[in-house]
Amino acid sequence: MTALAHERPETTSEVRTECENDSDFDEVLWQAWKAMELPEGYRAEIIEGAIEVSPTARRSHGLITNRVRRALDKFLDGGEYACHQGVNVIHRRKAWIPDAFVAPEDTQPWGDEDDLGVRAEAVYLIVDVVSPGKRNQDRDRVRKLREYARAGIPTYVGIDDYDAQGSVTLCTGPRPDKADWEDIHRVYYGTDVTIPEGPAKGFVIGETITGPKRS
């Protein structure tokens, strides 16, 4: 796979504040997040010491997400793992809602203490589709990648309609202590990306999911 130039996310020491390391503060955020009642069409996540509220996906975003889900469902069919959507992933009082993730089909043993989602240690692959707008793109391209690395998610894939001709980023080898990844590869649409490990090993993200390379 041909890798393009890629700017690595900032490291933990550059972005984390004292309050983010405080367990009491994390607990306050957790309790506030659990108590939130959002209007229809919105969702809330806890990312790097803040509760972030965002609208549900627009049509084009949902189209790619559904292609990923259907393709992964077919790839994983008959095994003990499945593609999940619309479910919280929980890690140490953090909560994220990936566009798709691979975990055991039976997630009951992997629920968190409040049964609000699936614990991150059961997740083998996360796929996120980047949303439009600078704030959303910073969240999807940088801050969530650091959170996933901290949680030790083995493989991450980001599908980005808003990066030049459209790109796919594959991250492997999480380094939780650095909030970083051993390997980050980014290719334009039109180049296949193959999942290298885990239950989805061999699964290909190509034009049938992303659409063709943009001119």
Does 85 reside within a domain?
yes
pLDDT digits (tens, 9 = 90+) for 26-75: 999 999 999 999 999 899 999 999 999 998 877 788 899 999 999 999 99
Contacts of 157 (CB under 8 A, 6+ apart): 125, 126, 127, 128, 168, 169, 170, 171, 193, 195, 205
Does 72 reside within a domain?
yes
Does 51 reside within a domain?
no
Does 94 reside within a domain?
yes
For the chain, the domain total comes to: 1
Does 128 reside within a domain?
yes
pLDDT at 22 exceeding the cut of 60 = yes
> What mean pLDDT comes out for the span 104-120?
94
Sheet holding 100-104, edge to edge: 81-84, 100-104, 125-129, 155-160, 167-175, 180-188
Percent of the chain with pLDDT over 90: 78
- Determine the structural domain holding residue 70 and report its residue range: 57-210
Q: At 173, which CATH number?
A: 3.90.1570.10
Can you give the three-state secondary structure of 57-87, one letter per residue? CCHHHHHHHHHHHHHHHHHHCCCCEEEECCC
Label residue 4 by pLDDT band (50, 70, 90): very low
Question: Higher confidence at residue 146 or residue 9?
Answer: 146
Residue 123 tokens read as: 């997740």
Label residue 173 by pLDDT band (50, 70, 90): very high
Does 67 reside within a domain?
yes
Nearest to 76 by CA among 210, 200, 205: 200
| Mean pLDDT taken over the chain | 89
Percent of the chain with pLDDT over 70: 89
pLDDT at 110 exceeding the cut of 80 = yes
Does 197 reside within a domain?
yes
pLDDT digits (tens, 9 = 90+) for 114-126: 999 999 999 999 9
CA 3 → CA 7, 104, 140, 171, 184, distances in Å? 12, 31, 20, 12, 8
47-51, 58-62, 144-148, 192-196: least confident range: 58-62
pLDDT at 21 exceeding the cut of 80 = no
pTM for the model:
0.88
Residues 163, 189: Cα–Cα separation, whole Å: 10
> What mean pLDDT comes out for the span 97-109?
96
Does 193 reside within a domain?
yes
Please, what sign has the CA dihedral across residues 197, 56, 162, 48?
Answer: negative
